[in-house]
Structures are given as structure tokens and as C-alpha cells.
Structure 1
Amino acid sequence: MSTTSPPRTARGPLHAVGRYARLVKYKFVIDFFLALVIVATLLGPAALVSGTTPLALLFFALGMLGVLAAVMTLDDVTGAQDGSDTANYVETPSGQLRPLSRKPLLTGEITVRDARAFGLAGLVWGVLWWAAALLYAPGEPWVIVTMALLAFLSVQYSWGLKFSYYGLGEAVLLFSAAAFLIAPYGLVTGQLPLMVLVQGLLFGFGQLLIAGYSNTNDVRGDAEAGRRTVAVLTSEFGNKVFLAVLTCVNLAVIVVPVAVGALPWTFLLVLAPFVVLRVRQYAGFLRTGDPLVARSRGIWAFRTVVACLLLFNVLEAVL
């Protein structure tokens, strides 16, 4: 059942662009595209301009834009149809930490039908560009499988198979976010060094520990809509333990490879600001119990880890 309001009258093409930009959560799309910036620093300037690399990365980026648009849009389509977004955004307003304006389906600026068509078109666009990338720069089998799974699984988060409705959303999000970094690197090199895997996982955990606190805030609305996130499936204490485990595993991705000598000690040193912010995020949540503040801190922690990774990669290239 749709819970949207009657659509408002269109006010020209620029207004339409703004509506759809908010529908796809353009700020978060930009955040995801930081994965390609990290890949660029891992490859280095010489590799970026040699052989098939430039066009292969361009094709991947164009496909990534379509897939991300589909993921964000179809998530909102499901949320509008089952009432979970109404419960989480309208009946429980979150102010500036999560404004209603980012949900144009709820404000009536876009219809569910138009949003669904837009999302599916984005998915087709993305798959075609990724197919072109693989035809132009044939990848290793593991790259093909990773890209195929990324295209398939990412949109199933809350649409289609609706993995997040069956307790699997967190796993899908971690894989998808990490794969947006690992796949393009593998596409142009055919390799997956430990450093790339670690940076992909850090990117994935960055997104997961934003969503985890969003789900904590949305537990009532999600439960009513039948969306069984970890926050819904466990008690309040159990969810705190789950978030603690995610936080610890996130930090272990940095500490363990350094401790066993697989990565240089400078990696931990450069990422120290991120470690502080990640610990602060969880400690602050335990102290205040406010998941939206923790979510906001998670956004800053994610952007900080990206900045730290970029700094480390540049230093490694020049030193």
C-alpha cells in the first residue's frame, strides 16, 4: 500500500533534477564515488593513463552511477509502499539529522510509479556499462563474479528479494560497499593485494556503521513493516553488542594486519584519527543512547577513513 501524498505540480527541468537528486541521496552517492578516488591513489598516476585503464574506469564509474541510483531509489520505493519510511520519517521526525526533504516520495514530489521506473532504468544503465567495461577490459573470473554479484545483490537490499527484511541486509551492505572499491581495482589489474582488500573492507565498514545506527533509530517502524534488521531481531542490549562487535571487527581490520607484519606500522599511524572517531561513535552512543547522533558521527568517521586512506596511499607513492 502506498503512503505517498498526491504529487506536486512540476516546476521545470531544474526542479525535476533536484527532486531526483534527493531521491538517489546524491550526497551518499558522492561518498560512494570516493571509492574510485581511493582506487586512483592505489594505482598511481602512471597506471591511470596507461593501456585500457582510463576507459575501463570510466565505464565502471558510469555503471556505478546507474547501480547506485537504482539501489537508493528502489529502497525508497519499498519504504514508501510498506509504510516503513512514513513511520521512520513522518511519524518520528528526526529534524536536521535526517530531514524529510530527502524523501520526495513521502513529500509527494515524485510518484512511486515514476520512482520505480527511474530505478529500474538506472539498473539497466549500470549493467550495460559494466558489461561494456568487461568487454573492453576482460577481467579475471573473480572480477566478473564480483561485479555480477554487486549488480545483483546491491539492489536486493530492500527491493526484490529484500535481504534486509530477512536479517541479511548488513552482510549485503558490507559486501556491496567494499566491492565498489575492490571491483574496479581488480578490473584494471586482475589482482587483489591485501592492501586493496583491507581498504575495501574499511570502506565497507564505513557505510555499514552508518546504516547500523540508522536501523537502530528505525527499529519501531521497521518492525511494523516486517523489516527484520538486526536491531529488530535482537533486544536493545543485543543490538548494542552487535554494534560493539562491528566496531571491534572494523578496528581489527586495521590492527591485525599491522600486528602480524602484513602491513606497515605507518598504516595504523595514519589511520589513528579514524580509530579515535570510530571509538568515539560507539562510546557516545552508549552514553547518550541517541542513534542519530551516532549515525552522524559515523558519516564523519567514514569520510575521515577515506581521507586517511588517500593520505596513506599518496605517501606510499612518493616516499
Structure 2
Amino acid sequence: MTDSTLTTTTAPAGPPAPPARTDGRLRTYARLGKLDVYDYYLGTFIALSAVVPLAGALTGRTAALFGVFLVGQVLLLMAMTAFDDVTGFRDGSDITNYGPDHPLRNVRRKPLVAGTLTVPEALRFAWTCAVLAAALFAVTALLAPHRPAWTAIGLVVLWAVTLQYSYGVKLSYHGFQEVYLVALGFALVVLPYGMVTGRATGFLLVQAVLFGFGPLMFGVYSNTNDVDGDRAVGRPTVAALVSERGNARFIGALSLAEFLTIAAASATGIAPRWFVLLMLPASLLRLRQYLLGFRSGDIMRARRTGFAVHRLGVVLMCVANPLAAALA
């Protein structure tokens, strides 16, 4: 990637002209909450696939728990992304990243930049989603057949910290973005499982880490594409802090670390011996993602491939859990 530069004779580009309000309000708010990016919601199904083989674990009550937790996390993440858009609009980074110099980014996905929503409307939406998420997390806790302290604390921390991603204390503006993405995915897998079973197995913890790697590994490609806007507002992603070569090495190291996590879990017996082979299609697709981004130079296509890797990995882990129970 090359940085966009301005000469003394070139006026900085402003935000794109607002389009006519042709979309329905529900669709506009769905775009604000990024409801079409459902990848974090898939962690619930990994936990569910680990619960189903356990005798007597899946009852009407626990099924309701999974359902309520899923809706709660959808609302919470919609609040998070809405707050993120408000911050990105206010500091100008979204105007830079979705402006005319970046035609591959769909400005309609940013209703504030596109002019289809105002900041007060976005904030009302975000806080409404956050309050409803808190209420549903409370219901989830009441439905839980097991209530170890770490799950109760985890629900509170999950709600509070998620809202601070780029709003409030703005964690992602203080160098915690990459760690945050993995931790969020980890929590969304272990919390529902812990509330149903009262524990977390080593194999499930490995899967939770791998699930968190999914959003991280399309997030770092987004950061690579958005480096100009992030540097302009002082958002310290790794891509914004290091050179292009350093960023490529960092993402390569993350890709390798993901595979080594799988391999080490299989080698040590934390995961079944065949787990590394089962996950191999996702690992090979991860390699293709890296080559697309840093050999072919197609960062946005590599980012899209990251979604495919994540979704394939979820499917394979959902297969692994009942298979491990059947072969035990």
C-alpha cells in the first residue's frame, strides 16, 4: 500500500455528497449496526455444538439461554459498531477511509458519512441497543443452570468493555485493538458454555481462542487498508505504527501463530490428534489470504477471504465437538 499525499496545490477531499434518503429506516439502522457482519455471533454455535453431546445438558431452559444470549450479543455488538461509527465520523477517519480516494469502500455502510443518519440518531440507537443487551444478559444469568463467579463477572465485563472499544475510554485508540478483537471472540464462546456446564474444557478454550482469531484476521487487513485515516487521528493500530514490511511480518506471524495453536493443541492432547487435520482447509485458506494481501497486493480481497476463513473454521469446529464426543 502507498500513503495518500496532498501537495500544496491540491485541496483535501471532503466527505462524499450525501445521497438521497432512499433506504428504509430499518435498513439504515441495520447498516449502522453492521447487522450483515454476523461473524461474531457464530461463537454461540461453537458453544452449542460442544453442549449438545453432553447427556442432559441441552434442555428447554438451556436452549432458551443460548437464544437469549445470542440476541443480547447481537444488540451489544450493534451498539459497539454504532458508537464506533460516531467516533470515526467525529474524528474524520471514516470520512478519509470512505471518501473518494477509497472507491472500493461502500460509503452506504457508513450512514453518518453518507448523510442518511445524524449523530444524535446514531447515539440514541447505540444506547437503546446497549440497554436492551444488558437486560438480556441479566435474563441469561437467571436462566443459567450453573453460575460460577467467572461467568457472572464475565457478562458484566463483556457488556462494559465492549462499549468502550471506540467510545468512552476508546480502548482501540490506546493500542489495544488487536488484543481486544481476540478477547471479545473468546468471551462469546466460553461464557454460554460455562453457564450451561459450570466449567470450560481445554479443548473449548482452544476453540475460543481460534474463534477470536477470526475477527482479528480480517480486522488487521481492514487496518492495513485504513492506515491513512488511522494515522491521521492517532489511532495506534499495528498497521499505523509500523512500516508496510513490518505490518506484513506482523500479520504473517499472526497467521502462523493461529496454525501453531491448532498444531500444539493436537500434539499435546488438549485437542484430539486429528483436529489439526480437520482444520487444515481453514489453515490453507489462511495462507491464501496472506498471499493475496502481501504477494498480490490485493488487501481488500484478502480481507474478504478472511471472512471465508473464519466461517469455514466455525463450521469445522462445530463438526469437531460432536465428533470428539463420539470417538471418546
TM-score scaled by length of structure 2: 0.89
Specify the alignment match of 2:27 in structure 1: 18
How far apart are residue 8 of structure 1 and its match?
5.1
Match of 2:213 among 199, 202, 205: 205
CA distance in 2, matches of 1:47, 1:39: 15
How far apart are residue 286 of structure 1 and its match?
2.2
SS at match of 1:93: coil
| Deviation sequence 1:245-299 (CA, Å, 0-9, x none) | 2112211220111112222122111111001011111133221233212111111
Q: Is the deviation greater in 55-64 or in 77-86?
A: 55-64
Task: Assess if the C-alpha contact under 8 Å between 2:292 and 2:299 holds in 1.
Answer: no
SS at match of 2:101: coil
CA distance in 1, matches of 2:170, 2:101: 23
The percentage of aligned residue pairs carrying the same residue is: 37
Specify the alignment match of 2:294 in structure 1: 286
SS at match of 2:270: coil
How far apart are residue 3 of structure 1 and its match?
6.2
Specify the alignment match of 1:73 in structure 2: 82
SS at match of 1:288: coil
How many residues align? The count is 312
Specify the alignment match of 2:59 in structure 1: 50
Match of 2:116 among 81, 100, 109: 109
Q: Does 1:59 align with 2:68?
A: yes
Specify the alignment match of 2:106 in structure 1: 99
Task: Assess if the C-alpha contact under 8 Å between 1:52 and 1:188 holds in 2.
Answer: no
Task: Assess if the C-alpha contact under 8 Å between 1:40 and 1:48 holds in 2.
Answer: no
Specify the alignment match of 2:247 in structure 1: 239
Specify the alignment match of 1:274 in structure 2: 282
Q: CA, structure 1 residues 33+48, in 2 after alignment: closer, same or farther (shift >3 Å)?
A: farther
Task: Assess if the C-alpha contact under 8 Å between 1:3 and 1:81 holds in 2.
Answer: no
Task: Assess if the C-alpha contact under 8 Å between 1:7 and 1:111 holds in 2.
Answer: no
CA distance in 1, matches of 2:276, 2:165: 32
Q: CA, structure 1 residues 269+155, in 2 after alignment: closer, same or farther (shift >3 Å)?
A: same
CA distance in 1, matches of 2:148, 2:52: 21
Output the aligned Cα RMSD: 2.1
Specify the alignment match of 1:174 in structure 2: 182
CA distance in 2, matches of 1:132, 1:313: 27
Q: Does 1:192 align with 2:222?
A: no
How far apart are residue 193 of structure 1 and its match?
0.4
Moved >4 Å (runs of 4+): 2-11, 45-48
How far apart are residue 48 of structure 1 and its match?
5.6
Quick check: which one's helix share is greater? 1
Specify the alignment match of 1:126 in structure 2: 133
Q: CA, structure 1 residues 148+312, in 2 after alignment: closer, same or farther (shift >3 Å)?
A: same
How far apart are residue 105 of structure 1 and its match?
1.4
Which residues of structure 1 form unaligned runs of 5+? none
Q: Does 1:258 align with 2:266?
A: yes
Task: Assess if the C-alpha contact under 8 Å between 1:157 and 1:173 holds in 2.
Answer: no
SS at match of 2:211: helix
CA distance in 2, matches of 1:4, 1:23: 17
